[in-house]
């Protein structure tokens, strides 16, 4: 299932990148396919879709926390495969941009974020705790402004650049750090105590370790965002 889902989503994301590239090329903003502007616009569009799909499906987490309803489980599994496909595709793009000399080196923070996400999603798939994927998916709402921020920086528009930076910081602090990650810990603890299918999969130490890595990355991005504000 993931195999077919990956190629389908890779085609969609590749087509989006090509579309944004042709638009930006028309305005002399970008000259190479898979340039940073079109790729970041693709990321913004894809992350907006991921966050939106997570938001509209949140009610099913409350209605069926143990995923006893196979229709809901299949719905979540399809979402999971789409989410995982995005991270695999975008990790390939990171390396491909270096190969084409579009970027001199890979952004290590972004590579770490992607590899951590892929690892977590593979663990979730093995344990079939697809409700957690939905919780993680909403965190991608922070990346909606990635492409527009890069364009505003290109045009040296400090006003909009600062708005996008502040949005990312507020989303990081208020939505991700204060709501999503604490609720994810609560949700994991609840389902592994109450759901028969998940009780044997309980590994709270692994979750705390992974959460520690996530929080470490969040704090790093928080400092980067604050530094960006001082520059712009």
pLDDT digit string, tens, across residues 35-81: 999 999 999 999 999 999 999 999 998 889 999 999 999 999 999 99
CB 19 within 8 A of CB 98: no
Residue partners of 75: CB distance under 8 A and separation at least 6:
57, 60
Q: What CA–CA distance (Å, rounded) separates 140 from 138?
A: 5
Q: How many CB atoms lie within 10 A of CB 158?
A: 12
User: Angle between the 158-170 and 146-154 helix axes, to the nearest 10 degrees?
Assistant: 160
Query: What pLDDT score was predicted for residue 5?
Result: 86
Share of residues in the chain with pLDDT > 90 (%)? 90
Q: Which helix (H) or strand (E) holds 108?
A: helix 108-127
Considering the chain, what is the average pLDDT of its residues?
94
pLDDT bucket at 1, cuts 50 / 70 / 90:
low
CB 85 within 8 A of CB 9: yes
Question: Residue 232 above 70 pLDDT?
Answer: no
Question: Residue 2 above 70 pLDDT?
Answer: no
pLDDT bucket at 22, cuts 50 / 70 / 90:
very high
Nearest Cα neighbor of 164 from 145, 151, 180 is 145
Q: Which helix (H) or strand (E) holds 32?
A: none
pTM given for the model? 0.93
Where b means 16+ CB within 10 Å and e means fewer, 95-107 reads eebeeeebbeeee
Query: What pLDDT score was predicted for residue 24?
Result: 97
Where b means 16+ CB within 10 Å and e means fewer, 115-134 reads ebbeebbebbbebebbbbbb
Nearest Cα neighbor of 117 from 102, 136, 100, 99 is 136
Residue 151 structure tokens: 């364009």
């Amino acid at each position: 299932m993931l195999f077919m889902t990956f190629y389908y989503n890779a085609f969609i994301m590749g087509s989006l990148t090509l579309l944004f590239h042709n638009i930006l090329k028309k305005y002399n903003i970008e000259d190479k396919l898979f340039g940073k502007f079109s790729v970041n616009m693709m990321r913004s569009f894809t992350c907006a879709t991921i966050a939106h799909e997570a938001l509209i499906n949140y009610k099913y987490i409350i209605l069926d926390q143990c995923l006893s309803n196979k229709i809901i489980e299949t719905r979540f599994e399809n979402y999971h495969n789409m989410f995982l496909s995005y991270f695999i595709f975008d990790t390939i793009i990171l390396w491909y941009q270096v190969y084409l000399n579009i970027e001199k080196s890979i952004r290590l923070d972004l590579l770490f974020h992607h590899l951590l996400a892929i690892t977590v999603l593979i663990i979730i798939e093995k344990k079939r705790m697809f409700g957690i994927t939905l919780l993680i998916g909403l965190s991608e709402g922070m990346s909606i402004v990635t492409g527009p921020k890069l364009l505003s920086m290109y045009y040296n528009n400090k006003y909009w650049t600062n708005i996008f930076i502040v949005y990312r910081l507020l989303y990081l602090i208020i939505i991700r750090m204060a709501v999503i990650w604490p609720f994810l810990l609560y949700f994991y603890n609840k389902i592994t105590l109450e759901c028969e299918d998940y009780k044997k999969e309980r590994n709270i130490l692994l979750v705390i370790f992974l959460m520690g890595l996530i929080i470490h990355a969040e704090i790093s991005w928080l400092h980067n965002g604050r530094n960006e504000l001082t520059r712009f």
